[in-house]
Homo-oligomer: A and B are copies of this chain.
Amino acid sequence: MTNKDARTPASTQNPTETSADGEAGKSIGWHKAYVEGPRPDLRVPVRQVHLTNGQSVTLYDTSGPYTDPLVETDVRRGLAPLRENWIIARGDTEEYAGRPVRPEDDGIKHTSPRGGLRNLDAVFPGRPRQPRRGREGRAVTQLAYARRGEITPEMEFVAIRENVSPEVVREEIAAGRAVLPANVNHPEIEPMIIGKRFLVKVNANIGNSAVTSSIEEEVEKMTWATRWGADTVMDLSTGRNIHTTREWVLRNSPVPIGTVPLYQALEKVDGRAEELTWEIYKDTVIEQAEQGVDYMTVHAGVRLAYVPLTANRKTGIVSRGGSIMAAWCLAHHKESFLYENFEELCEILAAYDVTYSLGDGLRPGSIADANDEAQFAELRTLGELNTIAKRFNVQTMIEGPGHVPMHKIKENIDLQQEICDEAPFYTLGPLTTDVAPAYDHITSGIGAAMIAWWGTAMLCYVTPKEHLGLPNRDDVKTGVITYKIAAHAADLAKGHPGAQEWDDALSDARFEFRWEDQFNLALDPDTAREFHDETLPAEPAKTAHFCSMCGPKFCSMKISQDIRREHGGSRAEIEEGMAQKSKEFAAAGNRVYLPIAD
């Protein structure tokens, strides 16, 4: 490899760099750095890995300001509103009083004898702000801008991040093949893009539930997930303090935040699905849009007529949102209020540039139910809704399964792309077998890699706790890393420009026994280092030209290095010089392995 930056992928400009000691580009390891954009307030974060051979590798970075030692972060104040000036400069949005926050937004009942917010300390103390929305008659979504031919600073930002031209970004968004989720009320994010022509993205779910977890834990899970590579985070809280938890998460998140508004709406009616109304739902969507939620899962494809299609399934409806809507339809024997009011919902989402994630409420929950009539009936409806959303300039992605055996995966992505005009597919796994609870990050990582290779734009992670319990910190990390593997494997298989340079840099380090470089280039440097040290803990082993697998006596890599030394060059040169080299090799004592002390 020549002494150039290998990056995966970023611009060809040299990133500036910040490190703990302020000394740029010297020390070995990895540091936060920035690629400067065409304007001073556009700096794209990257992870800069400095190798022991003097080279450096630039990697995509999702970790936000938390990994920048020069930025002081305070979860009580929130992150700096990077995009605020861009949004204001467009002049098409306005601040307004907004919807008053009510106790029931946090799951506190009016009738509760305790009354009011249970935990006043939990209210987010950060800077006061008013919500913002599009001015009357102005289309303020990235889709609207792209369709008008405008390249926004957000698009320029992701162009640098993805190492493509801003025009490619604009085109993909305009065509509806990519989304750039960026609510005008979430100025803290570092813009990112979701589409099949870009790097495959990974979402991590967090969220408290009725059973366990606190606000602090959820904020910590969000920063932890992005630290390991989550591109977006969904807050799926269902317990108490939903509004407040979300506020803390949003104000501190450098990545887009997704939600399922239906979950909160259900809490507002105390879990009685049949008491849900369009008004309660709509109010919840506005509440969340004002807070800054970037994309919302909407299960508007679960229509009344599809509910019976699930009756003879092995595992019925496993999507929580899907079953809530099914229960509502069942109780009222009426068409879904989400389907019926979809156009009005589009108008609301458009005003804040909230992106749709059209939920697959009827996704299969078992191998037996994969690709059945219920699933595909809903998919066809999602295609119809996608068309409507686009009419309202609402960015849209489509959610996908679920549990699907390998031979039925491709049909899912092919159908979705056809039915939904190539709108980004956002899949949960899929899980390729049901028999391994506690390992569903792996059963689903297999399916995720395959479906991403075939075109899925974003993968929703699955943790080892899937089906069993709520993920803790370790589970979140394992889920994210597993899905980064699936995403990167897909980037490689798709031939994404620059993707292989990362593998090449690590393989070069491996071949040359640069252990520290291998660790620093790894998706998870900490665990790689820890595993190495378990077998060969001594410091010298990290520079030794052998590893614990073969030991010091005989080493495959060492022999290969000898071969390269002797046979590097053209085929002709190699053939010609081989006999001669063989003699030299013998004369030098046939040193194909290192001397040992044994």
Chain A residues within CB distance 8 Å of chain B: 209-212, 238-239, 266, 271-274, 307-308, 310-320, 322-324, 326-327, 330-333, 365-368, 405-407, 432-439, 441-443, 445-446, 449-450, 453, 464-465, 467-470, 472, 481-482, 484-486, 488-490, 492-495, 500, 502-504, 506-508, 510-511, 518-519, 521-524, 527-528, 530-532, 534-536, 547-557, 559-564, 566-569, 571, 574-575, 578-579, 581-583, 585-586, 590, 592-593, 596, 598
How far is it, in angstroms, between the C-alpha of A539 and the C-alpha of B486 when the chains are bound? 37
Decide: B212 and A535 in contact? CB cutoff 8 A: yes
User: How many copies of this kind of chain does the complex include?
Assistant: 2
Q: Chain B's nearest CB lies how many Å from the CB of A510?
A: 6
Establish whether residues A317 and B582, one from each chain, have CB atoms under 8 Å apart when the complex forms.
Answer: no
Across the interface, do A551 and B211 meet the contact criterion of CB distance under 8 Å? yes
Residues A562 and B502 in contact, CB atoms below 8 Å apart: no
Contact A489 B563 (CB under 8 A): no
Cβ A210 vs Cβ B552 within 8 A: yes
Q: Say whether A330 contacts B552, CB under 8 Å.
A: no
Kindly list chain B residues whose C-beta atoms are within 8 Å of the C-beta of A566.
Answer: 311, 330
Q: Are B556 and A469 in contact (CB-based, < 8 A)?
A: no
A264–chain B nearest beta-carbon distance, Å: 12
Structural contact, B504 and A367, CB atoms closer than 8 A:
yes
Are A438 and B524 closer than 8 Å at their CB atoms? yes
Which one of B467, B536, B571 contacts A469 once the chains associate, using CB atoms below 8 Å?
A: B536
- A439 to B524, Cβ gap below 8 A? yes
Q: A490-B406, A536-B469 are in contact. Are A561 and B316 (CB under 8 A)?
A: yes
Question: Is B492 within 8 A of A433, CB to CB?
Answer: yes
In the complex, which residues of chain B have a beta carbon less than 8 angstroms from the beta carbon of A445?
A: 442, 445-446
Q: Tell me the minimal C-beta distance from A462 to chain B in angstroms.
A: 12
Instruction: Determine if B524 and A582 form an interchain contact, defined as CB atoms under 8 angstroms apart.
Output: no
User: Would A330 and B562 count as touching, CB distance under 8 A?
Assistant: yes
Q: Of B464, B489, B507, which is within 8 A of A315 by CB?
A: B507
- Expressed in whole angstroms, the Cα–Cα distance for A445 and B485 within the complex equals 11
Contact A563 B330 (CB under 8 A): yes
5 A-B pairs with C-beta separation under 8 A? A212-B535, A315-B511, A316-B563, A333-B583, A467-B518
In contact, A367 and B442 (Cβ under 8 angstroms): no
Given A209-B548, A468-B528, A493-B405, also A435-B503 (CB < 8 A): yes
Given A445-B446, A450-B406, A470-B535, does the pair A316, B560 have CB atoms closer than 8 Å? yes
**Besides A316-B511, A438-B531, 6 other CB < 8 A contacts?**
A273-B554, A320-B549, A331-B582, A432-B449, A432-B492, A437-B518
B436 touches A523 (CB 8 A): yes
- Knowing A333-B579, A449-B446, A549-B209, the reply to whether A489 touches B326 (Cβ < 8 A) is no
* Smallest Cβ-Cβ distance to A568: which chain B residue: B311
Chain B residue nearest in CB terms to A59:
B435
Candidates B310, B453, B534; contact of A406 at CB < 8 Å: B453
Are A327 and B406 neighbours in the complex by a CB distance under 8 Å? no
